[in-house]
Every structure is written in C-alpha cells, then in structure tokens.
Amino acid sequence: MPIPQEIIKIKRDGKTLSQADIQQFAKGLTDGSFSDSQAAALAMAIYLNGMSVDEKVALTLAMRDSGTSLNWQGQLNGPVVDKHSTGGVGDKVTLMLAPMVAACGAYMPSIAGRGLGHTGGTVDKLESIPGYSCNQSLSRIRQLLPELGCLIVGQTDELAPADRRLYGIRDVTATVESIPLITASILSKKLSEGLDGLVMDVKVGNGAIMATAEDARELACSIVDTACGAGVPTAALITDMNQILGDTAGNALEVLETLDYLTGKKREPRLHQLTLALGAEMLVLSGVAKDQDSAISALEHSLSSGKAAEYFAKMVAALGGPTDLLEKPAQYLAQAPAVLDVPAPASGYLQIRDTVALGMAVVRLGGGRSHPEQKINPAVGFSGICAAGSPISQGQPLLTVHAANQQDAEYAAQEVLAACAVVAEPVSVSPLLHQRLA
C-alpha cells in the first residue's frame, strides 16, 4: 500500500494515479492517514497537472463511497433524477423543478447546499420558510421520498465525508478552481443520491463562477464525461448568468417568487424558459418522456393542473413547514422593514455590467454570509428586478431593495446603480441557452 508522499509524487510529476492510489487518498481523507498538508499538496498537484477521465471517475466514486449512498432499487415506481447548478444570483430553479418533475412521474431527492460567495443557496432559501428543516437523516429521506416524490434537503454527515474534508482544505489553499476537483466534489454528492439520471446547469457570464465560455464548456464536459463514466447518464446545459435569474434575489423573496410561479400568479420569462429546458432534459434522460416536446407539455401540465404546487406544498408540510404556505405566504415569509425603489437615473436601455456585485449587495444586506457562522436575514434582497435590455424611463424603478433599515437600503441602492447602467442605444442580451452537452 503506497504512503501519502508516494501518491503525491506521482501526481506532482504529472503521471497518472491508479485507482488504488485514489482510493487510498479518499480513505486517508476520512480516517486521517492523510494530513491536511499532504491533502493540500495532492490537491495542488491535481490543480497544476489535471486528471484524466478515468482518474476523475475513480476520485468521484472513492469520495462517494467514503460514506453511505442511497439505493432505491425496488422501492419506487419511477426513475430517480436530479439537477445541479454551478450557482448564480437569483437561481431558484430547483425549488420549482423538483415538484414539477415529481408531478410528471419521476423522483427527485435533491441534496442541496448553502450560499457560497455571491451565489445564493437552495438550503438558505428553504430555511426562510418557518419550520422547514433541511437537516434530515438518510433513513428519513428513504422514508419520505416514496411518499412525496420530491425532497430538497441539506447534505448529511453520512454523505461523501471525504469531499467535506477536501473542500475545506481546497478553500484555504487556492485550489477551489480546479476543474477535476470541482467535478469530483459535485458528483460525489450527487451520485450518492442513487440517481438514474443527472442534468447539469453550468452557468457562464459576469455573475457566474465560470466567466468565459471556454471555462464553462471545460467544466460541463468534465462533469458529463465523469458522471457517464461512473454509470449515471448525464447531460449539461451551459446557460447565461449575465443578469439575475427571475425578478427576485434574496431568500424569502425567492420563495415567494417560487410560489407565484407554481400557482401561475407570475412567471418571469427567462426563469420559465430555463426551468422547462432543464426539466425536459431530466424527463427525456430518465425515460419519462420520449422527446423534448412531450416533456415540455408534461411540465406545463404539471403547472396548469396545480399538481406541481400540490407536490411543493406536501414537501414543505412534511419537512416541518406550514400546511397553508401556498394560500397565506405573507403570513409566514419574513418581510423587511425598509423597502426602497431604485429609480433609473435616465431614460434608455438597461445594461447589467456586474451581476456578481448585485449578488454581493444582497450578501451585505444580510441575505448571505461573509463567514460560515453568520446568521442570514431571510427578508432582505431585491424584488421587481428589470431584465437586461429592457427599455427604461427616467425615474422608473430598476428594482426594489428590501433591507433591515433605511441606511442599508440606501447603500444597496448605490451598489445597484454602480453595477448597472442605462444607455442610449439598445443593449445586446446574451441568449439564455448557450449549448447542450451529453
């Protein structure tokens, strides 16, 4: 059995790690036989020299197998699917998609995360619903999914513990951006859900972790090749994040937008387009639908019939939330005491120059964390966000700030005006769907 420094040397010298080497590394992350400095050294060697597809498959499976995996064989009467987004601002698609897909006959056990940097977290959004508990044991997840059809929860200690330790090391050693390590980190958790199919939403643009099309394509290809190599059919869509997705950003505000979407009160066009596109990929990939057109028809029927809203309501109630959230959202979702419109300084067309800055403005309002222990204010954020390229009249609200106090609201308004511009000529807007990879 090789010792840690021998494994590090192989990758340091640009050579290929064997499956046994990688399994030893994953074991070392969980039992402590790899020290933090040794794990950091190997992470840096991987960052500098990359990994082959076979190495990425081996690392993904070894980190998945460092903990417990869900197995649904013989327990469900439909396929198990999930989607994962690389993160952006205002991305609440999972909240809508899980009940829609469940209403179409698939099962979606989504292990979600908290906000990171400028990106919002699905767990944080759901925890803005009073009583909703994302902390569920694997036995409880096994019990609830057959009953509910969809389940959105946080990562448990039993799932991929090797990844949890490695991520903490990467975070402080400048190796977070390594595409092989990003790939294995995402997939070790997703594959532990016992999936029959996975769809990736890889964001690109001035609000995404992957700012260029080349980087986004590299990550999408890496994830698709690795997941398929691990035996899970996977497709990826590269999608635009050059503006906030939907017309809200902030936890309770995004939950309210989700409820409006599911009940048909309001559906922002780009958000609706992306939700249908990802959902169609999931239904076709899992065999629930024979083609894109029939998949989209099924998803639209899940909305128009009210079934998707019913599935969401059942999930919320089963995980400790109110039983009448759909009927009385204002009674349960926190509302900020200070509300301020941000008026356009001129007439023209809206240009979004820095979506990351808009995400960070929400964080500074208290809608995200600047350190892991920070408590989130669920009420703060933005609503009524105008889409990029929209014709704007002077004085028209670009968006509305929701803040804990007037001073915070005014500071956020200045951040919005710095991140946006109103220009005289029409603005070219990036297409929402860039590319599909499978």
Active-site residue identified among 189, 203, 402, 434: 189
Q: Is 21 a catalytic residue?
A: no
CATH of the domain at 417: 3.90.1170.30
In a domain, 43, yes or no: yes
254 located within any domain: yes
Does residue 56 lie in a domain region?
no
Q: Looking at the domain assignment, is residue 312 inside a domain?
A: yes
Q: Are residues 211 and 299 in the same domain?
A: yes
Mark whether 192 is an active-site residue: no
CA atoms within 13 A on the CB side of 179: 20
Amino acid 1: pLDDT: 80
Reported in sequence order, the residue ranges of 131-233 that DSSP labels E, i.e. its strands, are: 150-154, 197-204
Residue listed under structure tokens 């010298």: 13
pLDDT at res. 116 = 64
Q: Would you place residue 115 in the very low, low, confident or very high pLDDT band (cuts 50, 70, 90)?
A: low
Residues 174 and 258 in one domain: yes
Domain boundary among 318, 345, 364: 318
pLDDT in tens, 306-340: 999 999 999 999 999 999 999 999 999 999 999 99
Three-state DSSP at 413 gives helix
Amino acid occupying residue 105: G
Q: Within this chain, do residues 154 and 256 fall inside the same structural domain, yes or no?
A: yes
Is residue 388 included in any domain, yes or no? yes
Distance, in Å, from the CA atom of 361 to the CA atom of 432, rounded to the nearest integer, reads 23
Active-site residue, selected from the candidate residues 56, 92, 190, 270: 190
Average pLDDT, the chain: 94
408 flagged as catalytic: no
For residue 122, indicate whether it is catalytic.
yes
- Asked if residue 129 belongs to a domain, the reply is yes
- 15 catalytic, yes or no? no
Q: From CA 25, how far away is CA 163, in angstroms rounded?
A: 11
How large a percentage of the chain has pLDDT more than 90? 89
Whether residues 142 and 260 share a domain: the answer is: yes
- Please answer whether residues 349 and 425 qualify as being in contact, where contact means their C-beta atoms are separated by less than 8 angstroms: yes
Please say if 118 is a catalytic residue: no
* Residue at token pair 């594959």: 191
Same domain? For 10 and 41 the reply is yes
Assess whether 380 and 313 both reside in one domain: no
CATH of the domain at 225: 3.40.1030.10
Q: What pLDDT score was predicted for residue 44?
A: 97
One domain for residues 277 and 167: yes
- 36 is an active site residue: no
Domain boundary among 318, 350, 383: 318
Least trusted range by pLDDT, from 46-55, 173-182, 288-297: 173-182
Would you place residue 87 in the very low, low, confident or very high pLDDT band (cuts 50, 70, 90)? confident
**Which residues, 6+ apart, have CB-to-CB distance to 37 below 8 Å?**
none
Q: Supply angle C-alpha 362, 365, 368, rounded to 5.
A: 60
User: Among this protein's residues, is 183 annotated catalytic?
Assistant: no
| pLDDT tens readout for residues 170-203 | 878 888 889 999 999 999 999 999 999 999 999 9
Q: Is 140 found in the same domain as 284?
A: yes
Query: Structurally, how many domains does the chain consist of?
Result: 3
pTM of the model: 0.93
User: Poorest-confidence range of 33-47, 181-195, 239-253, 371-385?
Assistant: 371-385
246 & 172 share domain: yes
Could you confirm whether 170 is annotated as catalytic? Answer: yes
In this structure, is residue 410 part of a structural domain? yes
- Residue 24 and residue 154 in one domain: no
Question: Cα dist. 348→200, 343, 423, 432 in Å?
Answer: 36, 13, 5, 22
pLDDT digits (tens, 9 = 90+) for 126-148: 999 999 999 999 999 999 999 99
User: Which residue in the list 30, 94, 178, 185 is annotated as catalytic?
Assistant: 185
User: Quick one: 304 and 228 in the same domain?
Assistant: yes
183 in a structural domain: yes
**358 and 418 in contact (C-beta within 8 Å)?**
no
Q: Are residues 373 and 279 in the same domain?
A: no
Give 365-368 contacts, CB < 8 A, sequence gap 24+: 365/250, 365/401, 365/402, 365/403, 365/404, 365/408, 365/412, 366/404, 366/408, 367/120, 367/249, 367/250, 367/251, 368/115, 368/117, 368/118, 368/120, 368/124
Number of CB atoms found within 10 A of residue 133's CB: 15
How far apart are alpha carbons 17 and 32 in whole angstroms?
Answer: 20
Q: What is the DSSP letter of 34?
A: S
Which one of the listed residues 84, 118, 165, 307 is annotated catalytic?
84
Residues of the domain holding 375: 334-423
